[in-house]
Amino acid sequence: MKKSTLIAFAFAGALTAVTALNPGHASAAVDNGNGTVTVQAGDSYMSIANSKGMSVAALEQLNGRQVGGYDVIYPGETVSVNTNNTAATTQTATTQQTAATTQQSVSQAPAATTQTATQSAGSYKISFYDPAVLGSNMGYNGVAANLSVFPKGTHLRITLSDGTVLDRVVNDTGTFAYSNPQQLDVAMPNASIPSYGVTTASVQVIG
């Protein structure tokens, strides 16, 4: 009985060794689920490689075999096919690419906003007026401008020559504005109007 068993194992081993050179055999190797397979009778490197969608050379390199050599394998032998590692690598690469794309989008968005917020309109002549004196209830948050240059609702940041910064919204215009497109008339209480009356300022569009 023992002699028969030994003969059977020897025959199975010989069959596998022979089919290592027989590319027509379909692999019966058992997938271990960890990137390796267990060789079954009749398996060859070519049949295993074909079943895993890889080249024989790649499988040989993965298992430290000589590329193009005689790949004799035996039932019960473990062969690395690296399928799990490949999937993990692909998943990691995809995740990293998605993260990089998201980070790039987040980084670019504030830059575009900053560019809009600091758009320079140049240097303008600045005069002042008190709407209340003119019988207007428009308040002191506005500025009169040439509406073809700054439409109503444009938010301006006006930096006077003495460093004073005024944030104003265009809400008025006038005859002077059409003849002087480079001039702005800033609303301000009479008591706060600078003694110099007219000055120059750097103007930025911030909204």
Question: How far is the CA of 117 from the CAs of 110, 126, 155, 170, 172, in angstroms?
Answer: 10, 21, 10, 16, 22
- The confidence score (pLDDT) of residue 112 equals 46
- The confidence score (pLDDT) of residue 110 equals 53
Question: Is residue 44 in a domain?
Answer: yes
Question: Is residue 23 in a domain?
Answer: yes
pTM above 0.75, yes or no: no
Indicate if 182 and 123 belong to the same structural domain: yes
Question: Is residue 10 in a domain?
Answer: yes
What DSSP character marks residue 192? G
Question: Is residue 201 in a domain?
Answer: yes
Indicate if 121 and 66 belong to the same structural domain: no
> How many domains does the structure of the chain reveal?
2
Closest CA to 126 of 86, 76, 164: 164
Question: Is residue 45 in a domain?
Answer: yes
CATH number, position 182: 2.40.40.10
Give the residue numbers spanning the domain of 43. 2-85
- The confidence score (pLDDT) of residue 111 equals 47
Indicate if 121 and 200 belong to the same structural domain: yes
Indicate if 81 and 122 belong to the same structural domain: no
| CA 47 distance to own-chain centroid | 42
- The confidence score (pLDDT) of residue 11 equals 44
The percentage of the chain sitting over the pLDDT mark of 90, rounded to a whole number, equals: 17
Indicate if 125 and 67 belong to the same structural domain: no
CA distance 5 to 173: 107
> End of a domain among 61, 85, 109?
85
Indicate if 67 and 140 belong to the same structural domain: no
Mean pLDDT in residue range 117-123: 77
Indicate if 131 and 194 belong to the same structural domain: yes
- The confidence score (pLDDT) of residue 196 equals 80
